[in-house]
Structure 1
Amino acid sequence: MATSTFVYDGDCGFCSRCAQFIQRRIPTEARVIPWQFADLDRLGLTEAECEEAVQWVGADGTRAAGPDAIAALLGGSAAHWRVAGAGLRFAPVRAAAWPAYRWVARNRHRLPGATPTCALPRTPRLSSADLGTKRPL
């Protein structure tokens, strides 16, 4: 894997807006991709992990989730964003970042740009194998 990858929930309007912000404002060589279009097996990720939090898979195979993934993304960007990433890794900030991240994840359907599909928990998704075996009503 030659490029780092930042994986987000493409079904969530809020998450998609955040990913668009990253792509427009944060210079990074990482791929920013919805998990629904990512090769999760190649990245070593599961759907459950991706539904729980954003994910980072570094070019070197390192992995991080949630605010740690955001810190990793920022750490590979322009200088002022690297400072923000370092701040997010600072122990007291990191200790507060996880509860804040979980609160946002639980309430993301209420945030700007959100849609009802942003709400957690999700209903179980049908796999492509399930879709092939279902008969029309």
Structure 2
Amino acid sequence: MTDKIFHCRATGLTLPAFSAAGDAAAGRVLSRGETFTVSPETYELTKDRLGSSFLDLTPQEQVQKWGSQRFGTGPAPEDMVIGEDDEYQVFKAAFAKLEYSRKISDPAARKLAVQKVWRDHGEVLRHLNEDYR
């Protein structure tokens, strides 16, 4: 087997890992939209006791097993944003936009930019202190 390219369709997909000594190590947790390459060695680590790898599941088999498709073959589609299904990542992106808009020096432009962020991302930012509104 040569290296294979996949993309993550649901944040939380985890690739197993082992240390050089063969001990279990922390795996790599992927975010939606990430493209990842699986080497033959990593592929072997994904096999269960019966020799089957979850990476061989078709989209339909993934839905049957997990209730949704977790990964796909090939690179991530261009319109798939990394982490867009992860509440924390979405919050960080919205907060970054808010901070950027609050630094605009022109008061009128700043007000319009902040209002736009709240209009577009208000649901995600709803728990922020009133000082950020």
* Same structural fold, with TM-score higher than 0.5 when normalized by the shorter chain: no
With structure 1 as the length reference, what TM-score do the two structures score? 0.29
With structure 2 as the length reference, what TM-score do the two structures score? 0.29
Report the structure, 1 or 2, having the larger helix content.
1
When Rg is computed on C-alpha atoms for both structures, the one with the higher figure is 2
